[in-house]
Each structure stands twice: as C-alpha cells, then as structure tokens.
Structure 1
C-alpha cells in the first residue's frame, strides 16, 4: 500500500454562529465527527478551483471563495488506517442565498448529509471537528 500526503481544500461556510459541516463516522474508534465540505485538490488545479468543483459535485452549488483563513496539517488514523492531509481553509459563500435557508443538504456524491452545527458545540467538546486545529483557528478568526 502506497502512502501519500493528500492536499485538500475545505470551505468554511457560516450561517450566524453555525458552520456547514458533514457528519462522518469512524466505526473503529466508535467516533462521530464533523468536517467542512470540500475535498482533494487534483493535479494542476488550484485550491480555490478545487473548492468550486467540490461544492458543485457535492451540493450542485455555485460558491464565491473568499480569503484563505489558514492551512492545517492533519496526521490521523481513520478506520484503523493512517492518513496525512494538508488542508487549505477558505471562507466560502453560496451564490444562491437559498442554501442558507436549508437546515440539511444531501451530499450528491456521498451517502452523507451536510448540516449547520453551532461552533460552540465544537469549542466545548460536545462534537468533534476535523481537521485538528480548526476549532482553534476559527476561535482566533472571530
């Protein structure tokens, strides 16, 4: 098995004090976690272009990519397998304001659902937000 570092672009979409995230599950750890939408950066693609493509694939949504709020390195284990990611994090806004009125959004290319979760639930430890360091980055960015 070849191991590699995976470059990611993740979009920080806010609705008031809530963040748009999808819920994931690591059955090996018995852990439910949350992560902003986005995904892998393809060869020859900028991180901003990757975000635009990913939001199109995941929600059929057009977005405006704003400023980069940070870059986080995440070395982790998921489903008992090692992973290593470099995540570029950007402020993102939906072009269609109707997306902000939806409480849940089915992710089209994955059996997951995106929903709004209050950032306070991550800060006080009620819910887990990945990548590691994002909760602190968001707190510093307030």
Structure 2
C-alpha cells in the first residue's frame, strides 16, 4: 500500500487583460476538465519562492520577476481515482519577456517530458464542471483582484 503524504506545491499566477495563464488537463476517471496555473512541487531544502522561479524556467523556459506571495491554500482532493493532499503557496509574478503576454498560448513540458499548452483564460472559462484548481484558488484570485 503506497504511503500517503502531504505535497508542498508552489503555483504562479500570470495575469494579463483579465485573463490568467493555466494548464488545461483532464481527470480520466471523473471525465472532467481541470485548469491549474503553472508550478509544481517544492523540493526539500528549497524555499517556495525559489521553487516557483525554477518551475517556470523548467516548464516554460522563461524567467520571471516581481514575485510576490498572495496566499496559501490547503487542498484535499481526489484525482485519477487517488487521494491527494497539498499545501499550496500561490504567487503572482510577471514574465521578463513581454512577448509572452501577446501569444495565445505558451508551449510547456512537464518533468516527465509530456508537452502541454498553457493558455490565457478568463474567469468564464472556469465552472463547477471544469474548475480552476486547487480548491479555493478562484476565490483567492477574485479577492486579490487578479481575476475578473
């Protein structure tokens, strides 16, 4: 039986003209679409702010600046039929390359090499059937005026 553990995670919100950059993926078991900002796991001995800079560089090949913490969320969920538990540091930042904001999507790759397209989505893209995850992120972004 696999050991259950809490995963520390850092996510970054990039916003532009009322939209945020998200990775769209599907839970094959529940047959639903989910949206999540760019980011990933915090490694042992690594500060969450350093993790987000590293994750954006690894996933998108882009450097960022003006990184600021906007909140912390705790997410207990089921994905692909398996339970998960994350403590999520949510950051706001900007891309150093302004051209990133003019593209309809950015090519990225996960740590396992899988490719993805991060797209700019407005709040109307997120519904109960196709939510922005982790839980509580939508409300946090609304409160911080990062999502219209």
SS at match of 2:106: strand
Contact residue 25 and residue 35 of structure 2 kept, 8 A: yes
State the alpha-carbon separation in 2 of the partners of residues 65 and 2 from structure 1. Answer: 37
Note closer, same or farther for the CA distance 1:17–1:126 as it changes in structure 2 (3 Å cut). Answer: farther
Contact residue 27 and residue 79 of structure 2 kept, 8 A: yes
Q: How does 1:79-90 map to 2 (within 5 A)?
A: 79-90=80-91
Contact residue 33 and residue 129 of structure 2 kept, 8 A: no
> What TM-score results when the alignment is normalised by the length of structure 1?
0.94
State the alpha-carbon separation in 2 of the partners of residues 70 and 54 from structure 1. Answer: 18
Shift of 1:111: 2.5
SS at match of 1:99: helix
Q: How does 1:42-81 map to 2 (within 5 A)?
A: 42-81=43-82
Partner of 1:135: 138
Partner of 1:2: 3
After superposition, the CA RMSD in angstroms is 1.3
Report how many aligned residue pairs link the two structures: 141
Instruction: Extract unaligned runs of 5+ from structure 2.
Output: none
Contact residue 48 and residue 65 of structure 1 kept, 8 A: no
Q: How does 1:16-27 map to 2 (within 5 A)?
A: 16-27=17-28
Alpha-carbon deviations, 1:69-113, whole Å to 9, x = none? Answer: 110000010100010001000111001111111111111333221
Note closer, same or farther for the CA distance 1:33–1:14 as it changes in structure 2 (3 Å cut). Answer: same
State the alpha-carbon separation in 2 of the partners of residues 107 and 82 from structure 1. Answer: 26
State the alpha-carbon separation in 1 of the partners of residues 80 and 105 from structure 2. Answer: 26
> What TM-score results when the alignment is normalised by the length of structure 2?
0.90
Runs of 4+ more than 4 Å apart: none
Instruction: Extract unaligned runs of 5+ from structure 1.
Output: none
